[in-house]
């Protein structure tokens, strides 16, 4: 478990380009993402340039004690409808237990407290048990399942649709913080 003050979720910046490409191309990330082919530097360059200035998305690096270890995205941000979609991954392997929870807590805080979203949606492959467990730990509820929705490496895969609402966040924010972070000073 991490100390809250040791964790940071910050906007991506130009110096993050290379590490994000390495993470996106790593087997443990690609195997759980929609984009699962090896990404050429030119393709990543286009994505990264767009990500830096995308009007309805925010992309962030999650750092532990200043060291980048993960990525979070909020896409389809609609101020009118107060909703967006969350995606994330841990780029580094062998991280301490609770790293994903810390990333998730900070992403929820940003979506609900900073952006004022009402609904935060997310999707995960049904085979991605770790992601589904993290979503549930953070209080997401399953809204449905898209059956055989995505063709991945020749196999039809189900997508689990999840959501968390601001009223849930308001009532469980402190309990989640206590669950995701060690007491200060520990």
pLDDT one-digit tens code per residue, 124-153: 999 999 999 999 999 999 999 999 999 999
Per-residue pLDDT band for 182 (boundaries 50, 70, 90) equals: confident
Task: Examine the pLDDT at 4 and tell me if it is beyond 80.
Answer: yes
pLDDT in the model for residue 183: 80
* pLDDT tens digits along 108-128: 999 999 999 999 999 999 999
Give the pLDDT band (50/70/90) at residue 30.
very high
CATH of 2-182, picked from 3.30.70.360, 3.90.650.10, 3.40.30.10, 3.40.630.30, is 3.40.630.30
For residue 156 the two structure tokens come to 């039809």
Q: What angle do CA 127, 24, 146 make, to 5 degrees?
A: 30
Give the rounded percent of residues in the chain with a pLDDT score beyond 90: 96
pLDDT tens digits, 35-91: 999 999 999 999 999 999 999 999 999 999 999 999 999 999 999 999 999 999 999
pLDDT of 27: 97
Question: Please, are residues 38 and 22 in contact by the beta-carbon 8 Å criterion?
Answer: no
**Domain assignments of the chain as residue spans, ordered by start:** 2-182
Signed CA dihedral, 105, 17, 82, 133: sign only: negative
Of the candidates 117, 100, 98, the residue with the CA atom closest to the CA atom of residue 169: 117
Neighbours of 44 (CB within 10 A): 18
What is the pLDDT at residue 46? 97
* Virtual torsion, Cα 53, 159, 151, 127, nearest 10 deg: 110
Torsion angle of C-alpha atoms 163, 116, 107, 183, degrees rounded to 10: -110
Report the predicted TM-score, pTM, of the whole model to 2 decimal places. 0.95
């Amino acid at each position: 478990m991490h100390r809250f003050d040791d964790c940071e979720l910050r906007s991506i910046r130009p110096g993050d380009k290379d590490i994000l490409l390495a993470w996106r191309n790593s087997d443990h990330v690609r195997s759980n993402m929609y984009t699962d082919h090896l990404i050429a530097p030119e393709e990543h360059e286009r994505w990264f340039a767009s990500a830096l200035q995308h009007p309805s998305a925010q992309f962030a690096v999650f750092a532990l004690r200043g060291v980048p270890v993960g990525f979070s995205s909020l896409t389809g941000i609609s101020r009118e409808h107060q909703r967006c979609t969350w995606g994330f991954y841990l780029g580094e392997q062998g991280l301490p237990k609770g790293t994903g929870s810390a990333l998730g807590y900070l992403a929820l805080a940003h979506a609900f407290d900073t952006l004022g979203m009402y609904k935060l949606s997310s999707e995960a492959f049904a085979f991605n048990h770790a992601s589904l467990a993290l979503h549930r730990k953070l209080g997401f509820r399953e809204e449905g399942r898209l059956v055989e929705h995505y063709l991945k490496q020749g196999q039809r895969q189900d997508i689990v649709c999840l959501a968390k609402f601001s009223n849930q966040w308001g009532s469980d924010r402190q309990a989640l913080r206590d669950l995701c972070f060690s007491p200060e000073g520990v």
